[in-house]
A and B are shown apart, each in its own frame.
Chain A
Amino acid sequence: MRYVKELSNRNKIISEHTCEALYEQQNDAYTIKFVFNGTEDCELNKRRFCIYPDTFAVVNAGTNFSSKIDSINPVNTFSVSFGENFIKDFHHTVSSSNEGLLDGKDVKSTPVFTESLYPFAGDMRFNVLHLKNQLDKGLKDEMLINEYLYHCLLNYYKIYDREVVQKLDKLSFIKTKTREEVLKRLTLAKEYMSSNYNQNITLEDIAAQACLSVNHLLRTFKEAYEISPYQFLMQLRLNRAKGLLQTTGYSLNEIVALVGFECPSSFIRLFKNTFNITPLKYRKSRLN
């Protein structure tokens, strides 16, 4: 099942529920892509990553983008594209001073987003779920849809500030260009871990993907994110295991293997230490 909702201001929403899909295109508008269940494999400017339900991807206008879904269970994807004027107006409003806005002197520029995966949580998740539920029920009110989209951008800008701007500030390099380049590479490391969390990946693999030496990766990753790449990977595996416990009927052993752990006992111990509850008790509590 697929529906496309195009608004008069050229904002567009596409929702799809499918087991198989292949799209290759030059992305013609600023787009935010979500996956509600399953995985969507993407390639963006020759970079490969997967969108899971706990992440969303941002793609700029003009970027070569392809995506593939190949799954036994239907995958529910949701993508929001913004018309050029809508995004320019939004960017102008949030980035200009009050005086500038009143004078009307500021030039409306086109923003360039950092194309990557971002955590899909908090207000962004609440607002996008509301929008999706409303559209699934047949919402036609453009004012309300645009209000959701405005808030979607507002939420994204907050996430961008937290995930990019604040992380740049944490890096200790003096030159801005160096900080930006290192953060870009750390982003590649995170993307790689997020997309391959269920594989047996090593620190050397991650460093190679990020074009950094192992030592450089360890030092800068900790500086920016306050945890090591290994801790990041473990958190990711445990959180995704939580998702599987909640939404699937897979046995514990299956989940252990699906999220990339080798030993069920070490998984249970880590899960209990992190969330103060055993995996099976957690599943039971969510069922209740």
Chain B
Amino acid sequence: MSPCGKLFYVRVKQLNDAWAFYANCLGMATEATMLHGEEKGILVKADEETNIFLSERKHQNQTNKIVLNSDDCLEEYCRLKSRGVIFKKTPSYLSEGLSAEFSDPSGNDFIILEERNYNED
């Protein structure tokens, strides 16, 4: 996945289940952390520049839709599929490029997006 410099705050039902999914299924680096020294959470390094902060509590700036940029959506799709990730449907074409969607156990939606410049020579 390519750098995009983002931090997503994501609410999950159970940190333990989330840790298993993000670390084992998605193969992302995870680290247990505390927010403001009191709230337990997990910091997930989705790629070089994208971090996801998982917590069980509700926050104002949380999102349930995370876009992960990729250089090659089909490669990412097959890699994750072979690790047991269930995709909502097969990769499909958008005006921006190629995308594939899946959800985590808490119902947060992930979109792998390979942006394509169709006007390029």
> B-contacting residues of A (Cβ < 8 Å)?
122-123, 126-127, 130, 134, 141, 143-144, 147-148, 151, 242-243, 246, 286
Shortest Cβ distance from A158 into B: residue: B93
Beyond the given pairs A147-B77, A242-B121, 16 more chain A to chain B contacts, judged by CB atoms under 8 angstroms and listed by A's residue number, are A122-B118, A123-B93, A123-B98, A126-B97, A126-B116, A130-B72, A134-B72, A141-B78, A143-B78, A143-B81, A143-B82, A144-B75, A147-B74, A147-B78, A151-B91, A286-B121
The residues of A that contact B72 with a CB separation of less than 8 Å are 130, 134
| CB nearest to A129 among chain B residues | B72
Cβ A134 vs Cβ B75 within 8 A: yes
Bound Cα distance A144, B114 (Å): 16
A-B contact pairs, 5 of them (CB 8 A): A126-B98, A127-B74, A130-B75, A151-B91, A286-B121
A151 in contact with B121 given A123-B116, A126-B98, A143-B82 (CB within 8 Å): no
Assembled-state Cα–Cα distance A47/B105 (Å): 57
Residue of B nearest to A144 (CB): B78
Q: Which residues of A contact B81 (CB under 8 A)?
A: 143
State the CA gap A68–B43 with chains docked (Å).
57
CA A8 to CA B112, docked complex, whole Å: 29
Count A/B pairs, Cβ under 8 Å.
31
Residue of B74, B97, B114, B118 near A148 (CB, 8 A) is B74
Report B38-82 CB contacts with A as 1/0, cut-off 8 Å: 000000000000000000000000000000000010110110011
- Closest Cβ of chain A to B69, distance in Å, is 15
Q: How far is the CA of A123 from the CA of B98 in the complex (A)?
A: 8
Partner of A151, one of B74, B97, B118: B74
10 cross-chain pairs, A with B, having the tightest CB-CB distances, nearest first: A144-B78, A147-B74, A130-B72, A147-B78, A126-B116, A143-B78, A122-B118, A242-B121, A148-B74, A123-B93
CA gap between A126 and B121 in the complex, in Å: 12
Bound CA–CA A127/B97 (angstroms): 11
Nearest Cβ distance between residue B115 and chain A, in whole angstroms?
10
Contacts of B16-34 to chain A: CB distance below 8 A: none
Chain A residue, CB-CB nearest to B79? A144
Chain B's nearest CB lies how many Å from the CB of A148? 6
Contacting residues, chain A, for B78 (C-beta < 8 A): 141, 143-144, 147
A275 nearest in chain B by CB position: B121
Contact call B74/A144, Cβ cutoff below 8 A: yes
Closest to B117 in A: A126
Q: Could you say which residues of chain A place their CB within 8 Å of the CB of B93?
A: 123
- What CA separation (Å) do A144 and B75 show in the bound complex? 7
> Please, which residue of chain A has its CB at the minimum distance from the CB of B78?
A144
Chain A residues with Cβ below 8 Å from B97 are 126
CA distance A246 to B74 in the complex (A): 28
- Determine the chain A residues whose CB is within 8 A of the CB of B77 once the complex forms: 147
Q: When chains A and B are docked, how far (Å) is the Cα of A242 from the Cα of B74?
A: 30
Residues on B with beta carbons closer than 8 Å to the beta carbon of A127: 74
